[in-house]
Amino acid sequence: MRTKVAIVGAGPAGLMLGQLLSQMNISNIIVESRSREYVEGRSRAGQITPATVRILTQSGVGERVHAEGMKHSTLQFHYDGSTRELDFEALTGQTVMIYGQQEIIKDLVAARLRTEYPLLFGAANVQVHGTDGNSPSVTFRHDGRQQSVECDFVVGCDGFHGICRPQIADALTCYSHAYPFAWLAVLAEMTPIAKDVIFSSHETGLALFTMRSAKVSRIYLQCSPDEDPNEWSAARIWDLLQSRIEGRPEKVDGGAIIEKSIVQLRSFVAEKMQKGRLFLAGDAAHIVPPTAAKGLNLAVSDANILARGFEHFYASDKDDLLLSYSGIALKQVWRDVQFSHSMAMLLHRYDDNAQFHRRLQIAELDRILGTGPAAQNFAELWVGSPPFTASI
């Protein structure tokens, strides 16, 4: 088999890149190790920025986002016993959408199946070869047969634990930071307690309240990184959520818990995001703590920048845009890592020197939620403007 671009991984980065390339009539294959059911069922991020909505819309997969996504224009910060609002629409003129990552995945898979290009689920032993030369290939086992795909380029969209980044480890400088806390992530059949996302910075730790639909709530509670989710009964979860929003009028009456897991918080960036004919996109190249909901949006942004590089290459035979992919993408990556990290510092309980950290956090929250330029700055970072993709 021969194709122009071989994509490893069918998460948001791989599927988005495949969709953009297919629209540009650039042949491509997507090879994914898991099943379609698994990939479409994974419950993860859920907030999408205006730039992501625009890319989805322009690539023909925006219909359901617009019909079913929930438009948000304000954020609530609850601390020190009271709540303050940040109206980011008033400050930036932009809104964000709440729309589950797995719904985007379903939309992208459905669009992919309408194209002539392959999307192979359940591929085993995926390996990448020859990306330092001019004729790379990807080999794997699929449908009981060993297969080989020759290509011009390989893109590793295979997430943090994938096989592509290790392939070029010798050329990478990696930066990482582990946080001394984790999140208990809960998906529950519960009518959202408020119309907005609520960040509560409580003395005992963060509670983040968000939603996936009119009947499903997503709740995150700060916990220690070594927690076992099985030790969190429904009663324990609802009691802790209630205590961390003390001072607010809502009474949490719980609901059936659909899913619970522990999310480790980490920042990670690999520089550069390319070597030879192998490129990295999304979580394969970087991880942000989920505090600002940027992971999914960065994956889509990488795919968009890279697709434009390929478009330029195949239209003009010039690789200048492809060579500058990493430089353009990393500007946005570092901006979002910095913002997500600063939000992590702002909202969690630090056990070490707790009272000092608490005072610093309250001073910073007061500054952001005041009438000065900090609110404007925060709002712009929250909605992700200006998008770096505008520079190409």
163 versus 362: smaller Cβ distance to ligand APR = 163
Nearest-angstrom CA–CA distance, 265 and 287? 9
314 versus 334: smaller Cβ distance to ligand APR = 334
In angstroms, what is the minimal distance from the CB of 46 to ligand APR? Answer: 9
Residues contributing to the site for ligand APR (CB under 6 A): 8-14, 31-34, 39, 44-45, 101, 123, 126, 157-159, 162-163, 282-284, 295-296, 299
Nearest-angstrom CA–CA distance, 87 and 50? 16
Q: Name the residue among 252, 251, 250, 265 with its Cα closest to residue 205.
A: 265
33 versus 361: smaller Cβ distance to ligand APR = 33
In angstroms, what is the minimal distance from the CB of 108 to ligand APR? Answer: 10
In angstroms, what is the minimal distance from the CB of 247 to ligand APR? Answer: 31
In angstroms, what is the minimal distance from the CB of 366 to ligand APR? Answer: 30
Strand order of the sheet with strand 124-129?
124-129, 137-142, 145-150
126 versus 211: smaller Cβ distance to ligand APR = 126
In angstroms, what is the minimal distance from the CB of 320 to ligand APR? Answer: 25
152 versus 283: smaller Cβ distance to ligand APR = 283
45 versus 221: smaller Cβ distance to ligand APR = 45
Q: Rg of the Cα trace of the chain?
A: 21
Helix (H) / strand (E) containing 315? helix 295-316
Give the SS3 label for residue 169. Answer: helix
| CB-count exposure of residue 263 (10 Å: 0-12, 13-18, 19+) | middle
In angstroms, what is the minimal distance from the CB of 279 to ligand APR? Answer: 12
Ramachandran region, residue 86 (left: φ > 0; alpha: ψ -120 to 50; beta: rest):
beta
